[in-house]
Structure 1
Amino acid sequence: MHKVSLLLIAITAAFYLSFGYDLERYDLIKLIGLYSAVFYLSWNIYKIEKRNFWFLAGVALLMRLIFFGAIPNLSQDFYRFIWDGRMILEGWNPYLHLPENLIKEGTVTVAQASKLYEGMGELSGSNYTNYPPLNQFIFALAGLFAGKSILGSIVVMRVVIIAADFGVLYFGKKLLENLNLPVNRIFWYILNPFIIIELTGNLHFEGVMLFFLIWSLYLLHKKKWILSAIVFAASVSLKLVPLLFLPLLLRYFTAENSQNKLNFWKLCLYYLIVVVLVIFSFLPFLSSAFISNFSASIGLWFQKFEFNASIYYLIRWVGFQVKGYNIIETAGKVLPVIVILILAGLAIFRKNNSPQRLITTMLLGVSIYFFLSTTVHPWYIATPLLLSVFTRYRFAVIWSFVVIFSYAAYSDVVFRENLWLVALEYIVVIGMFIYQILNENRKKTDLFL
């Protein structure tokens, strides 16, 4: 431990305090300034102490604890989380009722309903919930332990998210050791200000999903494929994104020269376990109305919502020139098909015959999915960031910094994206992505080690 490190830690903690307790989302200059500062300082702490694993783990915990009593200031999604959890505890199915309707009818029995509805905003309140069952369980857990306290609910959810981050630290370290990679790489994720701010600070559950995903990959590497499938199902039941990775397991299970060769029938059983357990997790909420509402809610992300997109925005611009109107409904149907075809190509033609090649393909697949998406919220980048830890690609680390530009959309009274900043973000990210793909087979010095 160096004296310089202690000074850097103290300054970083002060900036995090300001970030958590004295920042408004619309204050873009302060937001980018604080974020850049903690990013730079954290990177220097990592460089100085990268051989001191448990010291860095302690620093990562300290920075998270700073946010313990803070109200999320970059996202209001937590109000919907609390609403859904309290609905469940009151015996309501959160998938069947719109907050907007319940407020208008005056039939809702949720504590502090008006405050929660106002906090979540009109967009969330007028749409059905799209959070999968295991996520709903955590929301209900927060309601159970915190009662009518909004801050108490935040603290409960924050404890779960912090615990998941350290689960990622544990299994990430073990997987890196098994792959003969430097264990300090896991701090590109755990110590990254993006992860601390977006997950611990703003209560997004990508980290809990990633805990189950990395645990599942570790079990798969150890050939404990049944346990891996069970844990993978938990990951899907938190967020649906891991479903993208199921096709990519094809060559890992069946390739002749696979380091962890299993076989086709084990793959089929793996898929069956995942599908059955995910369906089972939905059973308490299942009804014909649920299927309709949940499907409609998911469809909104492809055909109605637009935020921080890249390739889609170029397509939209072309659509305006040719058609004279926004073609999101058409593009939102075509782009997912393109993603499926690309994933199929990666599954069939790429030799995912080792854990590193499998994880690399997962990184490429999910990144392409986000490049083609109509909506890319900042916290989504947690998935490519964690996967990149186990690969030679570093574009996701850069992405975790430049994604902060997307918050420029909230810097005005009226929500309006700054497309110049969005363009800057993706020119940097996609440019680095293409550069690293083209140089994949060349021997490069890893500047991050």
Structure 2
Amino acid sequence: MNTILSVKIKLTITVFLVIFIFSINYIFAYHLIRTEYVKLIILYLSLGALSYKLVKIGQLNSRQLIGVACISRLIFLVATPNLSQDFYRFIWDGRMIFQGYNPYLYTPDFFFAKGELPIPQAEILYNGMGPLSASHFTNYPPVSQFCYFMAAVFANSSILGSIIVMRLLIILADIGILHFGSKLLKHLNLPSNRIFWYFLNPFIIIELTGNLHFEGVMLFFLVLSLYLLQKLKWQWAAVAFSLSVATKLIPLIFLPFIFKYLKLKQGFLFCAIVGLINIALFLPFVSTEFITNYAETVGLWFKNFEFNASLFNIAKGIGFAITGHNKIKLIGPIMAMLVILYIAITTYKAALKDMKNLLVNMLLLIALYYFMATTVHPWYVSLLLVLSMFTSYKFPLVWSVTIIFSYLAYVSSDNTENLWVIAFEYIIVYGVFIYEVLLKKQIGKSVSLQNEVGNSRLNDNTK
């Protein structure tokens, strides 16, 4: 009788948890603006706690949890993103291609300075993307541009229609991650429920599905590539990796590790396939102006843009104290060179003999890169979160919670960051990182040594 009552109580709690999760997602989608920071943080943390509790209770099986995650995404389907304005530029680029323009050759400011409206709803899109985006050339690679183009094909004169098309593409990518991520977990003999660190995570649902960031598409191709590598289908893995790079450039950072993992001949061919496919994908857009514009735009992420940085902010503060100036143009490239040095040393020294070891090194590399970066937007953490599913590390999961505090920068009209808030975010992340990566390993070694000493003494006493 008590057992039946306990099951009914747990079932009732589960139903209420699901209702609350759907309700908060609805508020996030349709009744929130990013300057409402108290409401934003309370709802976000509540959603995270409820999702964790839902999995923890264990009343729902995997299919039911997948259903909750899918419905949570579909709640956002017809919502205009309210935490990011990047989607306006995505739609602009897609419609530029649809109208026959090369999006890499023109800034939106170029047309408005001439009084021209090259695409439908140009004025709305121009005002929506803001002056920073409008004044720079696009830096989104060809696969991302293809997704934006598809939005223009199906909804060339409707912003909401374009949003729906892009959102469906991102949802499909997430379903692909669920499918191949689950398979990879199985091949690595890891618990299958780890996939919900990603698929049911409110951070992923809000930042990718809600705010229309195409990291989800990039992550799909990356997970597919890793799965194919584990299946020893390295040629197809190279194709998938190429498409991941052609969605967002960041996976290129992993190429030296994969090269060593595959050994010399296969590693070289893998890199060759990645290079050739990306050249082919960029080829329709290539010109002298394209190369200049693209190099200039990518360089801005190291020399001009700043947001939610950690180690860079410390280095910048020291530089400012010494010189009285913001030395980002010097410090940014130095940070990038330190990451390159780490890649070279790790590639040379690390064993990288199996997939688990490869994944751990990929995770630690991208963590270091973001710790050093001048700009860490919230959706960037999704890459760490995916990789962490296949390792024992939890600091990316913690970061997916604390990253919400970066939105407090939008409270002021000039988007000025509060360094105390950034410090709070990173103190927690670094605390977990140091414990997991450095201290936990030392504790494990210490316990192992104590056990060996104990066993040795036991053997001596036995003799």
Deviations 1:364-413 (A, max 9, x none): 00010000000000000000011000001000000000000000000122
Q: Deviations over 1:16-53 (max 9, x none)?
A: 11111000110100000110110000010111238711
Instruction: Give the CA deviation at 1:442.
Output: 5.4
Q: TM-score, normalised by structure 2?
A: 0.92
CA contact (8 A) 2:261 2:267 kept: no
Maintained 8 Å contact 1:199/1:205: yes
> Within 5 A, what are the aligned runs for 1:175-186?
175-186=184-195
Secondary structure (helix, strand or coil) at the match of 2:81 reads coil
Q: How does 1:272-421 map to 2 (within 5 A)?
A: 272-421=272-421
2:146 to 137, 149, 152: 137
Bigger proportion of residues as helix = 2
- 1:125 corresponds to 2:139: no
What is the aligned partner in structure 2 of residue 31 from structure 1? 40
SS in 2 for 1:47: helix
Contact kept, 8 Å, 1:219 with 1:225, in 2: the verdict is yes
CA distance in 1, matches of 2:442, 2:288: 50
Matches of 1:434 and 1:352 in 2, distance apart?
22
Deviations 1:248-286 (A, max 9, x none): 1243223xxxxxxxxx11110000000110111000100
Q: Aligned ranges for residues 24-173 of structure 1 at < 5 Å?
A: 24-49=33-58, 52-173=61-182
| Matching of residues 226-245 of structure 1 within 5 Å | 226-245=235-254
TM-score, normalisation: structure 1: 0.95
How many angstroms apart in 1 are the aligned matches of 2:397 and 2:28? Answer: 21
The 10-residue stretch of structure 1 (229-238 or 427-436) with the greater mean CA deviation from structure 2 = 427-436
User: Aligned partners of 1:379, 1:2: CA distance in 2, in Å?
Assistant: 34
Q: CA deviation at 1:76?
A: 0.2
Contact (CA 8 Å) 2:260, 2:267: kept in 1 or not? no
Give distance in 1, aligned partners of 2:93 and 2:258: 34
- Which stretches of structure 1, 4 residues or more, deviate above 4 A after TM superposition? 441-444
How many positions carry a matched residue from both structures? 435
Bigger Cα displacement from structure 2, 151-160 vs 2-11: 2-11
Instruction: Give the corresponding residue for 1:430.
Output: 430
Distance 1:441 1:142 in 2: 51
Distance 1:316 1:238 in 2: 31
Task: Return the alpha-carbon distance in structure 1 between the equivalents of residues 241 and 52 of structure 2.
Answer: 31
Q: Deviation per CA, 1:135-192, whole angstroms, max 9, x where unpaired?
A: 0000010011012000000000000000000100000000000011000001001100
Alignment deviations for residues 73-132 of structure 1 (CA, whole Å, 9 cap, x no partner): 000000000000000000000000010111121233200111100000000000000000
Whether the 8 Å contact between 2:11 and 2:59 is mirrored in structure 1 is no
Among the aligned pairs, what percent are the same residue?
Answer: 50
- Give the corresponding residue for 1:259: none
RMSD: 1.3
Contact 2:409–2:416 (CA under 8 A) maintained in structure 1 = yes
The structure number with the bigger radius of gyration is 2
Measure the CA separation in 1 of the matches of 2:22 and 2:45: 14
**2:30 counterpart letter in structure 1:** Y
Which stretch of structure 1 is more off in the superposition, 331-340 or 194-203? Answer: 331-340
Mind listing any 5+ residue stretches in structure 2 that lack a counterpart? 1-9, 446-463
Question: Structure 1: how far apart are the matches of 2:60 and 2:339?
Answer: 40
Query: Residue 440 of structure 1 aligns to which amino acid in structure 2?
Result: K
Deviations 1:320-343 (A, max 9, x none): 111110000001221111111111
Letter in 1 for 2:158: S
Query: CA–CA distance in 1 between the matches of 2:294 and 2:181?
Result: 33
Q: SS where residue 325 of structure 1 aligns?
A: coil
Cα distance, 1:349 vs structure 2 = 1.0
Q: Please, which runs of 5 or more residues in structure 1 have no aligned partner?
A: 255-263, 445-449
> Partner amino acid for 2:380?
Y
Following the alignment from structure 2 to structure 1, what is the Cα–Cα distance between the partners of residues 435 and 213? 31
| Of 170, 187, 197, the match for 1:188 | 197
